[in-house]
């Protein structure tokens, strides 16, 4: 089992969003992946409207639909990238707070991004925790991932505020632009 808990960092924003976002991944011996994202308002947002009204999108909080959808990253979206060690290949998982999801396979950096048809729908749970929210995603990668390989991992999130502005959160941002596909920001086992 591999477990990693990390705080996500916003890409250079003026001013930085008043959020604290953590991401946790557990690569279980059974071959399943458990992802957990915690989002907590900090600063002035604590006294403002509930967090689920500060992060918006075309879905309802706490009512996972579980449908496969494209372009989820255009709104609030929890994401994970799984890089195959020793290869340029990687997968991108997108999950909305409403439970919609998609998994894409790339043969190289932003190349051939096609829906991974061998993927089964992940189990998604959204819960309030005090002032914040927790999104938990359980993914079974056994239909597309080699059983013995532990992935290089990128944990990311897109947050949309009520004005429609997007902020981009990742373990790190090695380039001038927010680029979740940049494997320099992935955790390497």
Secondary structure string (H, E, C) spanning the chain: CEEEEEEEEECCCCCCCCEEEEEEEEECCCCCEEEEEEEEECHHHHHCCCHHHHCCCCCCCCCCCCCECCCHHHCCEEEEEEECCCCCCEEEEEECCCCCEEEEEECECCECCEECCCCCCCEEEEEEECCEEEEEEEECCCCCCCCCCCCEEEEEEEEECCCCCEEEEECCCCCCCCCCCCHHHCECC
Comparing 167 with 50, the larger pLDDT belongs to 167
| 131 φ, ψ (degrees, to nearest 5) | -80, -15
Q: Is the pTM of this model over 0.75?
A: yes
Cβ–Cβ < 8 Å for 52, 127:
no
Residue-level pLDDT at 47: 47
- 172 pLDDT above the threshold of 90: yes
Half-sphere exposure of 108 (CA within 13 A, CB side): 1
- Is residue 109 within 8 A of residue 181, CB to CB? The reply is yes
The tens digit of pLDDT for each residue in 64-84 reads 568 899 999 999 999 999 999
Q: Which residue has the higher pLDDT, 105 or 55?
A: 105
Residues forming a β-bridge with 160: 166
Tens digit of pLDDT for each residue in 111-170?
999 999 999 999 998 888 877 889 999 999 989 998 888 889 999 999 988 788 899 999
Q: What pLDDT, on the 0 to 100 scale, is given for residue 51?
A: 67
158 vs 2: CA distance, rounded Å: 25
Query: For residues 125 and 135, is the Cβ–Cβ distance under 8 A?
Result: yes
Average pLDDT over residues 98-121: 95
**At residue 19, does pLDDT exceed 70?**
yes
Q: Which two tokens stand for residue 92?
A: 């991108």
Mean pLDDT of the chain: 86
pLDDT at 63: 53
């Amino acid at each position: 089992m591999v477990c990693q808990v990390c705080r996500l960092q916003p890409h250079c924003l003026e001013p930085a969003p008043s959020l604290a976002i953590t991401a946790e991944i557990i690569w279980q011996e059974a071959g399943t992946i458990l992802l957990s994202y915690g989002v907590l308002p900090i600063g002035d947002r604590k006294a403002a409207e509930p967090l689920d009204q500060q992060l918006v999108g075309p879905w309802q909080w706490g009512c996972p639909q579980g449908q496969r959808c494209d372009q989820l990253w255009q709104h609030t979206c929890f994401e994970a990238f799984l890089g195959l060690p020793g290869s340029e290949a990687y997968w991108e998982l997108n999950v909305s707070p409403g439970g919609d999801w998609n998994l894409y396979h790339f043969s190289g950096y932003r190349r051939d991004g096609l829906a991974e048809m061998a993927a089964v729908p992940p189990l998604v749970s959204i819960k309030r925790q005090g002032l914040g929210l927790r999104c938990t995603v359980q993914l079974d990668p056994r239909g597309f991932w080699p059983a013995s390989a532990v992935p290089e991992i990128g944990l990311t999130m897109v947050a949309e505020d009520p004005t429609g502005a997007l902020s981009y959160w990742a373990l790190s941002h090695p380039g001038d632009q927010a680029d979740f596909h940049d494997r320099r920001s992935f955790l390497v086992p």
